[in-house]
């Protein structure tokens, strides 16, 4: 390799001299760049190499991403070693502690581990996530669902965009999702009213994630999340059924269905909060940051402490109307759902 690099440097020197550059400067520039870290502070950087991209296009993309800082040297050396002919399309994570020469060798030899970019939307449940991950061949659907159920992970598969290595074992794939969720929870729980309890009481923490999942499935407007969480807490405190429609279709059979009264009155459904007088046995979805924060810090202003009902306005805003009494709620249902003046 040393002889190979030496040959390249001589070639680069000659090219530079022919172009009118100083030989010593050319030598120092090439060696100084090729064998220095891409970024002195290190770190990781994710890039996408498009299918059919030429080496010139790849180099331009890496330059735009701040990975290539001396395009001339990178381009000349890359072409000299024949980089580009063996570079495979895909998503990759680059180590910025690598040198440009090491990066080019990895690109040429296929030494980079390809990754799959996958986005899990907020509010997806275990079956939806299993469908998504199995479709891109990251997991075996049945094994994924078995692990989630055995380890009670519903609610902890944090919705976000991930880059996961092709061929990663199931435990690693699931770990990426749950570790992200743990990090977000750790960030949000600091300073929350029930911080100490949630850190010490595993059951209290479990109930929090269940309630956050209900907020996630009900809320459409950001401004409503804290109020919806408060309604749920108020109803639980009074021993009232939560009567939230999304719980009615939480099952391996009905998870794709739109909530409907025929599902909510099924006495054999252990998740229907129209039947059970408490939280469902597990989370019914995986809440994002905003819903988790709402469950940690439910609304306290105005008449929040008395609110017991809400109904979707269906006016295009995604907002709900909140009520403290059944009479007020029934009138709101007439107005927003039944179209009565």
pLDDT at 199 over 80: yes
Given pLDDT bands bounded at 50, 70 and 90, which one contains residue 320? very high
Query: Which pLDDT belongs to residue 135?
Result: 97
The CATH superfamily holding the domain 2-113 is Endolytic murein transglycosylase (3.30.1490.480)
Kindly report which listed range (85-89, 99-103, 184-188) carries the lowest average pLDDT score: 85-89
Classify residue 42 as left (phi > 0), alpha (psi -120 to 50) or beta: left
CA atoms within 13 A on the CB side of 147: 18
Flag whether pLDDT at 166 surpasses 70: yes
Residue 25 pLDDT more than 80?
no
The torsion defined by the Cα of 134, 136, 138 and 143, in degrees rounded to 10, comes to 10
Q: What integer pLDDT is reported at residue 19 of this predicted model?
A: 54
Instruction: Give tens-digit pLDDT for 259-298.
Output: 877 888 888 899 999 999 999 999 999 999 999 999 999 9
Per-residue pLDDT band at 172 (split at 50, 70, 90): very high
Residue 332 contacts residue 321 (beta carbons within 8 Å):
yes
5 pLDDT exceeds 70?
Answer: no
Token pair 């944090």 is found at 158
Q: Residues 300-319: pLDDT tens digits? A: 999 999 999 999 998 889 89
- Taking only Cα atoms into account, the Rg of the chain, rounded to an integer number of angstroms, comes to 28
Domain map of the chain by residue range? 2-113, 126-307
Average pLDDT over residues 119-128: 97
| Residue 141: pLDDT over 60 | yes
At 61-88, the pLDDT tens digits run 989 988 888 888 888 888 887 776 777 7
What does pLDDT average to over the chain?
Answer: 89
Residue 59 tokens, joined: 């180099």
Helix (H) or strand (E) segment spanning residue 309:
strand 309-312
**Maximum alpha-carbon separation in the chain:** 89
pLDDT of residue 145: 98
pLDDT score, position 107: 79
236-246: per-residue pLDDT in tens?
Answer: 999 999 999 99
pTM for this prediction: 0.81
- What whole-number percentage of the chain has pLDDT above 70? 90
């Amino acid at each position: 390799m040393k002889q190979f690099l030496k040959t390249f440097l001589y070639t680069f020197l000659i090219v530079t001299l022919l172009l009118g550059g100083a030989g010593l400067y050319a030598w120092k520039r090439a060696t100084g760049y090729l064998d220095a870290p891409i970024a002195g502070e290190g770190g990781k950087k994710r890039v996408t190499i498009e299918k059919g991209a030429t080496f010139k296009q790849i180099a331009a993309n890496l330059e735009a991403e701040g990975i290539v800082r001396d395009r001339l040297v990178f381009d000349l050396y890359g072409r000299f070693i024949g980089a580009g002919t063996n570079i495979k399309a895909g998503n990759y994570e680059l180590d910025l502690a690598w040198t440009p020469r090491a990066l080019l060798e990895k690109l040429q030899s296929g030494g980079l581990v390809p990754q799959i970019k996958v986005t899990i939307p907020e509010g997806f449940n275990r079956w939806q996530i299993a469908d998504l991950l199995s479709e891109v061949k990251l997991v075996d659907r049945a094994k994924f669902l078995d692990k989630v159920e055995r380890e009670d992970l519903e609610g902890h598969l944090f919705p976000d965009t991930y880059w996961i290595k092709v061929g990663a074992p199931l435990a690693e794939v699931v770990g990426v999702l749950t570790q992200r969720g743990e990090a977000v929870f750790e960030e949000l729980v600091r300073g929350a009213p029930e911080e100490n309890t949630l850190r010490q009481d595993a059951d209290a923490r479990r109930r929090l994630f269940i309630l956050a999942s209900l907020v996630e499935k009900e809320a459409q407007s950001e401004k409503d999340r804290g109020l919806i969480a408060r309604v749920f807490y108020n109803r639980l405190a009074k021993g009232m059924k939560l009567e939230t429609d999304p719980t009615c279709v939480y099952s391996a059979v009905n998870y794709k269905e739109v909530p409907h009264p025929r599902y909510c009155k099924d006495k054999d459904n252990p998740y229907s909060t129209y039947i059970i007088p408490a939280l469902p046995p597990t989370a019914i979805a995986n809440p994002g940051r905003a819903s988790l924060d709402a469950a940690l810090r439910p609304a306290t202003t105005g008449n929040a402490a008395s609110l017991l009902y809400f109904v979707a306005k269906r006016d295009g805003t995604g907002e709900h109307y909140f009520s403290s009494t059944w009479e007020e709620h029934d009138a709101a249902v007439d107005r927003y759902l039944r179209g009565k003046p």
